[in-house]
Chains A and B, each alone.
Chain A
Amino acid sequence: MSRIGVFICHCGHNIAGTVDVQAVVDQVRQHPDVTFTADYKYMCSDPGQQLIKDSINNYKLDGVVVAACSPAMHETTFRRTVASVGLNPYRCESANIREQCSWVHQHDQNAATQKAIAIARSIAEKVAGNEELQNLILPLTHRTLVIGGGIAGMQAALDVADAGYPVVLVERECQLGGKMVQLSSTYLNFSAAPDMLQQIIDRLSHHPNIQVLTNAEVTEVSGYVGNFKVHVSRSESGGSKEINGKSLFSAANPQSTTLDFFFDIGAIIVTTGWQPYDLTLLPEYGGVEIPDVVDALTFEKMLASGDQIRRPSDGKVPREIVFVQCAGSRDRERGVPYCSKVCCMVVAKQAMLYRERVPDGQAYVFYIDIHSAGKGYDEYVQHAMTDYQVLYLRGKVSRIFQEDGKVIVWGADTLSGRTIEITADLVVLATPMTPDHSAIELGQRLHISTDANGFFNEAHPKLRPVESLTAGIFLAGAGQGPKDIPETIAQASGAAAKVLQLFSHDEMTASPMVATVISELCAACGACVKACPYGARQIHPLRRIATVNAALCQSCGACVVACPNKASQVHNWRPDQILAMMDEMI
């Protein structure tokens, strides 16, 4: 027999406006396990909580039901309240008579009241059967793995390492720096990208807390937040080989040796970055056939080389250059549907740099819209139009072809209602960022999902942009979506902050309401192992019974259903409890 206190909340008019609270109090009081009942306007308020605490002490209650809002709102609050006066928090539960009762039955107050009584009494039944549970304490490895050594990965690694924790940074290529290493200079003030990058790379390479592995790939990850086991393979031959988009090591190249590293990791930051759009998908722009049609990253390399800009075909300096924005982006039919965010700014920068290198040259930009949403960004693009005499033409280019050694561009200017034909020396296609080719496969290995375009999914688009839906795995940079350097750095530091948040404790706590095995009933048939979607169960090789990895268990109950002997049960969600609750309701 339990001594349960049931506290019914009015929640202002939210509950009391529909449910007859007094009737609930009276009916619940009659349950044999209920010793005490009370009602109050706002149970979550300080006086409400004090009422609970005082009642526990005065009436020696050993269980509490708060019939109020959804447990998602305040179950944690009330569990903390009862714990503060020494009652086990898992002997306290919420009975949802608001979201699932008063709010949805406002037109039938009688029925709502009867339902509220049934709900409150059934939860009292459940609490009567609840065991006193303790939170699980899990170990926590304070080491971070950063996958990808571009600007995002390097910034995140530095932030975590500066806080005093060891970091392992894995980079597939033979050098750090990602795509940023190919840039000539950056907007807004044409700072030299190589200089900025070199400072970061130097600091990283000499940092006592950071271990850098280049020519390396993460081949296997197992475990869970705080306790990942990671296998990294490093090729000594210099660079990874790629066949059909999959990365191979010693298999194809007998000269190289592979080194294997195994790490215990507490948190993972995924910063795999981007790669340029495949130009073979733009045949109407002559993407691959015409040597004088290049993409923005290639033009960037031409600018970065320090030499004068020259046409790939004959080496002459181009006097008429056309930039085509939205080449492949914002194209539901044949390209990618999204806007790649950075191209409007990149093209303005490249057009201005071209005008500086070739002062008697003319630059044209074909655009649909100008997306310049950042501090000083719009003024920067206006600067290109006004002070650098870059001619911006509003219309999408329909066709680019070769004629007599020149490149003909067919476009339009909707602002004047004209079609425009330009005979160009060089054409630069501003193609979209696409995710790195390794992203989808890596996502599967880490159990993090990617969206329809291959970018990693964040836990919440607005409120949790740097976390994945898998605990302990964080995201930053262009792998999560197209973005430029300032946003990348912001996300990298944000992800690092999340890691440091995780690492601020010595251990992790986990909910104790996990599956458990009644060993006398277990026949080691293995049905629960197959049923578990989280890989939380296995058959113990020596004891020959099923065991549960409490840290991985998500209490879904699939194992309970699968077990033919009823050996698998979830703490405080036992079949006898559920049957008792149903008896109360029916």
Chain B
Amino acid sequence: MFDTTFIDQVNTLSEQTIQDCYHCHKCTAGCPVASEMDYGPDRVLRMVQLGEKERLLSSHDIWLCASCETCGARCPNEIDIARVIDALRQFALDTRLRPVPMVIAEPDAVKFNRLFLFVVQNMGRMHEATLLASYKLWTRNLLADMDSGAIMIMKGKVPLLPHVIKARKDVKRIFETTRMENR
């Protein structure tokens, strides 16, 4: 018997109707990172439709998605594919939902996401220098992207001192409240 649990869970989490997809490939055709992906957004949806949970959650695709929303904007069946990929990320990270054992294909992406939110939560606002430094230390890759990094610094995109905002404590509280609700 064909098990529809996975489709139902992803549908609920992403608030999309994945069965609507008729595989025209328009999303993959417009996705800016599709060439780097294993499958592309269209095949990702097909794997959800066929219930291929393990293959999907251990693929690179769900981490490479840049959430640019080109796919969702163009989909003729009104499916927001980026949201589906986001739901799959939640699946991959939520120990209650994901299969055990499981390997995350792009652990650095997870680290970056975690650090990003950590900086915003604690400093009230993004501080690129803190994010950069801690990311490089955590991934133990000090020299990666230094060419574009140097240009960014020269153009003033990486201020040394963080911008202090008044409502830092409120931002922290938003994070804590949201985390509590999703427990």
Interface residues of A, Cβ cutoff 8 Å to B: 319-320, 362, 364, 370, 382, 385-386, 389, 391, 394, 413, 415-418
Q: Which residues of A contact B138 (CB under 8 A)?
A: none
Q: Which 7 A-B pairs have the closest CB atoms?
A: A386-B19, A415-B46, A416-B46, A415-B23, A362-B2, A385-B19, A362-B1
Given contacts A320-B1, A413-B50, A386 and B23 within 8 Å (CB-CB): no
- Option from A319, A320, A416 in Cβ contact (under 8 Å) with B52: A416
Q: Which residues of A contact B2 (CB under 8 A)?
A: 362, 364, 391
Q: Which residues of A contact B20 (CB under 8 A)?
A: 382, 385-386
- B22 near A: Cβ within 8 Å? yes
* CB-nearest residue of chain A to B43: A416
Q: Is the CB of B4 within 8 A of A389?
A: yes
Assembly CA distance A320 to B23 (angstroms): 25
Q: Which residues of A contact B42 (CB under 8 A)?
A: 415
Which residues of B from 1 to 48 have beta carbons under 8 Å from A?
Answer: 1-2, 4, 17, 19-20, 22-23, 42-43, 46-47
Interface residues of B, Cβ cutoff 8 Å to A: 1-2, 4, 17, 19-20, 22-23, 42-43, 46-47, 49-50, 52
User: Shortest beta-carbon distance, B50 to chain A, in Å?
Assistant: 6
Q: Of residues B17, B22, B23, B43, which shows the largest number of chain A Cβ atoms within 10 Å of its Cβ? A: B22
- Option from A364, A394, A418 in Cβ contact (under 8 Å) with B23: A394
Chain A's interface: helix, strand, loop or mixed, by majority? mixed
Q: Is the CB of B17 within 8 A of A386?
A: yes
User: Shortest beta-carbon distance, B29 to chain A, in Å?
Assistant: 15
Assembly CA distance A382 to B2 (angstroms): 19
User: Shortest beta-carbon distance, A258 to chain B, in Å?
Assistant: 56
Q: Which residues of A contact B19 (CB under 8 A)?
A: 385-386, 389
Q: Which residues of A contact B23 (CB under 8 A)?
A: 394, 415
Given contacts A415-B43, A416-B46, A416-B47, A319 and B17 within 8 Å (CB-CB): no
Given contacts A415-B23, A415-B43, 4 further A-B contacts (CB under 8 A): A320-B1, A385-B20, A386-B20, A413-B50
Q: Which residues of A contact B49 (CB under 8 A)?
A: 391
Q: Which residues of B contact A418 (CB under 8 A)?
A: 50
* CB-nearest residue of chain A to B7: A389
* CB-nearest residue of chain A to B3: A362
Assembly CA distance A398 to B119 (angstroms): 57
Assembly CA distance A389 to B7 (angstroms): 11
User: Shortest beta-carbon distance, B22 to chain A, in Å?
Assistant: 7
Assembly CA distance A362 to B51 (angstroms): 15
Assembly CA distance A319 to B2 (angstroms): 11
Assembly CA distance A416 to B47 (angstroms): 7
